[in-house]
A = this chain, B = another copy of it.
Amino acid sequence: MQATGEARITREAFDRLCAEELPFTVSFGFRLDEIGWGRALCRAPFRADSIRPGGTIAGPILMGLADFALYAAVLSRIGPVPLAVTTSLTTNFLRRPRPADILAEARLLKLGRRLAYGEVTLLSEGEREPVAHVTGTYSIPPSAAASGAAVS
């Protein structure tokens, strides 16, 4: 899948959708920093209450951020459709996060008529080695897929 073209959803529209549909993403402080065609860059700000002793970030925060970023990447292709739902999420924890913001780089690998699939790399800000690698699948509402001209 070529990550070309503009996203079909703006950051502002995505923020509104999340505030309405996914309030926990707001309470965790998740932010969408950039969005493009089939990709998204998101951030979980470092907060003392989300960490494990030793300064590392809790697993549910990492998994929730990955899901949030991949959801943004899906909506970048199908537009602001609230009915795409996560059907599976596989997380591999690779390194202990530093006490810093976590960045999530998501990209779609497939957008089909019924399913979207992509991957997310999670990094501690300022580091090069990933703290986790996540893959996920989303079920796409029929109408949304039908409207996607470039669905492959």
Contacts and interface: CB of A to CB of B under 8 A. Distances in A.
Contacts of A61: 24, 60
Interface residues of A, number: 46
A147 interface: no
Given A28-B60, A59-B86, 9 more contacts: A1-B129, A24-B61, A88-B137, A89-B93, A90-B91, A92-B135, A94-B110, A110-B129, A129-B152
Interface in A80-113: 85-95, 109-110, 112
Nearest to A60: B64
A55 interface: no
A21 B135 contact: no
Identical copies in the complex? 4
B89 A59 contact: yes
Q: Chain A: interface secondary structure? A: mixed
A24 B60 contact: yes
Contact of A59 (B50, B67, B109, B130): B67
- Which of A27, A110, A117 has the largest count of B CB atoms less than 10 A from its CB? A110
B89 A117 contact: no
